Amino acid sequence: MTTSPAVSAAPAAVIADAAAYAEAVATASRAAAAYYATGESALDDDAYDRLARGIAAWEAAHPEEVAADSPTGKVAGGAAVGDVPHTVPMLSLDNVFSAEQLTAWTASLERRIGRTVAAWSVEPKLDGLAVAARYEDGRLTRLITRGDGTAGEDVSHAVGTVIGLPDALAEPVTLEIRGEVLMTQEQFEQANAARTAHGAAPFANPRNGAAGTLRARDRAYRVEMTFFGYGALALPGTAPGLAARLAELPHSAVMAEVVRLGVHTAATTEVAPRVVAAAEDVPARIEEIAAARPGLPFGIDGIVVKADPAADRAEAGSGSRAPRWAVAYKLPAVEKVTTLLGVEWNVGRTGVIAPRAVLEPVEIDGSTVTYATLHNPADITRRDLRIGDRVMVHKSGDIIPRVEAPVAHLRTGAERAVEFPSVCPQCGSGIDTSEQRWRCERGRDCRVVASVSYAAGRDQLDIEGLGTTRVVQLVDAGLVSDLADLFLLTREQLLTLDRMGGTSTDNLLAAIEGAKGRPLSRVFCALGVRGTGRSMSRRIARHFADMEHIRAADAEALQGVEGIGAEKARTVVAELAGLAPLIDRLVAAGVNMTEPGATPPAPPAADGTGGTDGGGPGEEAREPAAAGPLAGAAVVVTGAMTGALEKLSRNQMNELVERAGGRSSSSVSKRTTLLVAGEGAGSKREKAAQLGIRIVTPDEFAATVADFLPPAS
């Protein structure tokens, strides 16, 4: 079986005696009630889970002492109420936490029904609230929460705010569609902006937002949520033919009907429900969904695995809490509550003053989180964050942790407002607050040392002997106030500096002279244009071939470069305008501004239909096909390079790949066509081998690209 993502249940809370048990039951019941009523609970999901499992363990050992109000075995932890009866109970799901538990579960289901399940539906477990939407003759008549599973609350007032649940279906049918109401990340941000603007406390996370909003009436502002259908069933008024189809079709076919009727489901997302033929195939799809999780615009907290054929589901039946034909494969929690200890203000290379949250360290999804991004000062105000707040922190996969919101109902009154800087924390100059992102008035000059050191770095101009200490010395001596000044330094000036003898001076001057001849891609990267790093700089340089063409490009022309969208294009144009005097001085100093081997793009034809290279209308933005031995190849380099490639840094290897017409990437995927595997190559080699990707040694690769190797230095 394929390995599944490492998921394990956190250890259960330890309950020592009857008193601790009573207290645990009270805490869990309170939390469950709050969670289902308003979405506000003092416990995050993990903490509730641990407590519930501790309670279950104690009850297993003391069956005669189980409290009547224990949350175990009850839908929604026994919380919540409502007076609209469900025609069929709205159940919960049993959980598994590992591939082994999943295998045990599928095997036990197949044993119970006495045959192999011929198809499994593998779906995202959407992290919101279950609702039942009743349609009569195609009209949405009622929206009901899950409540205690037997009866729920009528929340029909929320109908107009739930995207994905149409007022009218594509056909005048009567049925109930069940699914999850949630807030996408964007809806959550909008909801909190609206709430804080109206003086209301922000929601701690999207799930709480959906819970609070679904029940709210008469709000002065409107916030939206999204519905994702995951099931459908007949109501008393359903036509017999449709009722039969709903009962007899495979689950996946029922869901196709739901989509056809115009209801939103996860089918259009990256984690669309998929049917696999055998239990052995389920983990691979689980892995795909788990891997996609960090990039999804909405939250999922697991994967639901369902027996697809109707007969299998009917035969398996349901227990009082959960069906036996479905199970939830839980993914690790990506949100935890911790304390906001402070806010740090850091000045970036371009002078942007960015706040960063300092947190009481908290372990989320296998790593300890101490800092989280806060985008800008307005973000802090919009979220109403205060120092000392308990905050909901989100971290998933490789994405940078973010503070979702304060958990406002846990405030004690001792929290303090976040202090915003009144002068640049780096250099003490004034702050330009005219945009959402604050910047030091001196812009990139504020960070002369940082930006000159960056420009001199190995992957940019590669000026040997010009480390940060030397740059500080040059700046302090008043010899350098920007990158272009480097190229005006004289022997006499350098000799006045401490620890600069004749030899070091000559070496440094020679290194600076050498830097003038670097390819445009490196020079461009050295400018530190916001939104462009090494690989983007290479793409821009190769696309435009020289600085003149880059500077002449408007936002539209820049979008011809792969990976540049409208927003980035606008940023680059604005940045280049700001950098114009510096670029002029670099040109005057004799710094190379062309990319070897690249040809400038054809100018657009006067009728605006594209260039002169035969590209038809609409094709003007397309990259010309690259030439060279690696044309069309997607190349990943891993392990230590040897032979002719031994001295090349990873960045230089990527440059080489791209000079030879290929595309470089750092990770192996289905799109990779060639892996250069040096000594000590590990998981990337294994993955490439599994995917059947061609693997070559550094020597073989060097022979292929021999004509493109940099001259030996």
Catalog residues that contact ligand IVH under the rule CB under 6 A: 91-93, 123, 125-126, 130, 180, 230-231, 304, 323, 326, 328
Active-site annotation holder among 74, 125, 395, 687? 125
Q: Which helix (H) or strand (E) holds 134?
A: strand 129-136
- In the chain the first and final C-alpha atoms are separated, in Å, by 50
The answer to whether 47 is annotated as binding is yes
The answer to whether 44 is annotated as binding is no
Write down the least CB distance from residue 123 to ligand IVH, Å: 4
Q: What angle do CA 177, 179, 181 make, to 5 degrees?
A: 125
Catalytic residue status for 125: yes
Q: Are 263 and 177 in contact (CB under 8 A)?
A: yes
How many residues in total does the chain contain?
A: 713
Q: What is the largest CA-CA distance in the chain?
A: 97
Q: Are 564 and 544 in contact (CB under 8 A)?
A: no
Nearer to ligand IVH, 330 or 539 (CB): 330
Write down the least CB distance from residue 273 to ligand IVH, Å: 7
The answer to whether 56 is annotated as binding is no
Burial of 680 (0-12, 13-18, 19+ CB in 10 A): exposed
Kindly report the number of other CB atoms within 10 A of residue 490's CB atom: 10
Nearer to ligand IVH, 328 or 527 (CB): 328
The answer to whether 427 is annotated as binding is yes
Q: From CA 514, how far away is CA 519, in angstroms rounded? A: 11
Question: Facing residues of 300 across strands?
Answer: 126
The answer to whether 214 is annotated as binding is no
Write down the least CB distance from residue 205 to ligand IVH, Å: 16
| Alpha-helical runs (H) found in 117-205 | 185-197
The answer to whether 45 is annotated as binding is yes
Question: Facing residues of 163 across strands?
Answer: 226
Q: Which amino acid is at 369?
A: V
Nearer to ligand IVH, 54 or 323 (CB): 323
Write down the least CB distance from residue 328 to ligand IVH, Å: 5
Q: Are 689 and 695 in contact (CB under 8 A)?
A: yes
Q: Look at the block and give the residue holding tokens 């192996």.
A: 668
Nearer to ligand IVH, 233 or 621 (CB): 233
| Closest alpha carbon to 128 in 178, 179, 79 | 179
Nearer to ligand IVH, 76 or 579 (CB): 76
- Residue of this chain nearest to ligand IVH (CB atom): 130
Write down the least CB distance from residue 180 to ligand IVH, Å: 5
The answer to whether 525 is annotated as binding is no
Q: From CA 242, how far away is CA 595, in angstroms rounded? A: 66
Nearer to ligand IVH, 307 or 357 (CB): 307
Write down the least CB distance from residue 65 to ligand IVH, Å: 27
| Closest alpha carbon to 394 in 438, 419, 357, 420 | 357
Burial of 335 (0-12, 13-18, 19+ CB in 10 A): buried
Q: Which bin fits 366, alpha (ψ -120 to 50), beta or left (φ > 0)?
A: left
Q: From CA 361, how far away is CA 149, in angstroms rounded? A: 38
The answer to whether 93 is annotated as binding is yes
Nearer to ligand IVH, 71 or 351 (CB): 71
The answer to whether 65 is annotated as binding is no
Annotated binding site: 45-49, 92-93, 123, 146, 180, 306, 330, 424, 427, 446
What positions carry a catalytic annotation? 125
Q: Which residues are annotated as a binding site for Zn(2+)?
A: 424, 427, 446
Residues at the annotated binding site for NAD(+)?
Answer: 45-49, 92-93, 123, 146, 180, 306, 330
